[in-house]
Structure 1
Amino acid sequence: MQIEIRKGLALQPGTYSAVIAPEKVMVSALNSNADLQRFLFLYIGGNYSRILSGIQRSSTNFEVRRAFTSHQLLTMLREAGHTVVFVEHDPSLFDGAANTLEPVAGALKEAGRESLVILYTPAMDRTFSALARRADRYIEIVADGAEGQPVRAARGMRQYGLRPAGQRTLEVR
């Protein structure tokens, strides 16, 4: 089982992936994968969600949980026994609780040993960056979303011929 975000770019079990992508791209990737109906899928959102209403949830294996604090998120990650754990990043969970960033990052990494763990955000921020440091894969998709647009930065994706994290390309328009 894998989730294909773009043609040739798939997320696989046993990994923790940090993904920055437009909302439409992520919703499409989740909705177009029929295999997700067969597996235990845990969606963890924060105080608000940008994509949950767009995800088709006809399967009884799709569980939604909401974390209001970073401590609740940490508990949910430690208790997760699902095949896919999808965390929609909410930076407000870490307001006044910056000391929980490292334990949550560790819990994401640990959960990724047994499951496909995806930490998702449509836009980078400091807390996402701190959580993504422990990721096996870091994927950022260009915001204009045109099919065939390159992935801007990735770590752990050399098998796809992508550039390492930190390297940026200047685009002339």
Structure 2
Amino acid sequence: MQIEIRKGLALYPGTFNAVIAPENEIIAAINSNTDLQRFLFLYISGNYSRILSGINRQSKNFDIRRGFTAHQLLTILREVGHTVVFVEHDPSLFDNAFEMLQPIADALKDIARDALVILYTPSMDRSFSALAQKADHYIEIVPVEVEQYPLRTSRLMRQHGLRPSGQTTLEVS
């Protein structure tokens, strides 16, 4: 069992993975992996979720839990018995509970001995960085922006006998 985030980039059981990626990339990775429906999948979010509404949840093996505080998140993690554990990072859980970062990071690492653990965020913050220090893999997917290059490059222009607009020679008076 694996989750392929991008072509050639797969996550495997027995690992704790810290992933920073655009929301649409991670939703597509989860939805495109039909094998996930065969495994016990636990989705954990905090006070809000940016991606849950986009995830296909037709599988009977897809469980959702919400931790509204860092202490509740730790309790959820201590009760995990799933094959895939996906934690959508919510930095607001740690606003007044920085002391909980280490125990939660340790719990994620412990769960990863028997499961595939993914700690996900669309953007980096201090609490995610602290949790990710225990991760086996740290993955950042940067969105690929299509750059608009002009078709009139000097090489193409020479091949077609065209002259670029603007000054073409250095004139001295």
Same structural fold, with TM-score higher than 0.5 when normalized by the shorter chain: yes
TM-score by length of 2: 0.83
Partner of 1:114: 114
Partner of 2:92: 92
Partner of 2:17: 17
Change beyond 3 A, Cα 1:95–1:60: same
Partner of 1:138: 138
Distance 1:98 1:90 in 2: 13
Distance 2:63 2:84 in 1: 10
Distance 1:65 1:111 in 2: 16
Specify the SS of the correspondent of 2:118. Answer: strand
Runs of at least 5 residues in structure 2 that lack an aligned partner in the other structure? 147-173
Whether 1:125 aligns to 2:125 is yes
The alpha carbon displacement at 1:145 in A equals: 6.3
Contact 1:25 1:145 in 2 (8 A): no
Superposition CA RMSD, Å: 0.9
Distance 2:145 2:50 in 1: 17
Whether 1:68 aligns to 2:68 is yes
Partner of 1:160: none
TM-score by length of 1: 0.83
Partner of 2:43: 43
What is the identity, as a one-letter code, of the residue corresponding to 2:63? E
How big is each residue's C-alpha offset from its partner over 1:22-42, in whole Å with a ceiling of 9 and x where there is no partner?
Answer: 000000000000011010000
What is the identity, as a one-letter code, of the residue corresponding to 2:84? V
Specify the SS of the correspondent of 1:118. Answer: strand
Partner of 1:52: 52
Where in structure 1 do 4 or more consecutive aligned residues deviate above 4 Å?
Answer: none
Distance 1:50 1:87 in 2: 12
Partner of 1:157: none
Give percent identity, aligned residues only.
Answer: 72
Contact 1:22 1:145 in 2 (8 A): no
Distance 1:61 1:145 in 2: 35
Contact 1:20 1:120 in 2 (8 A): yes
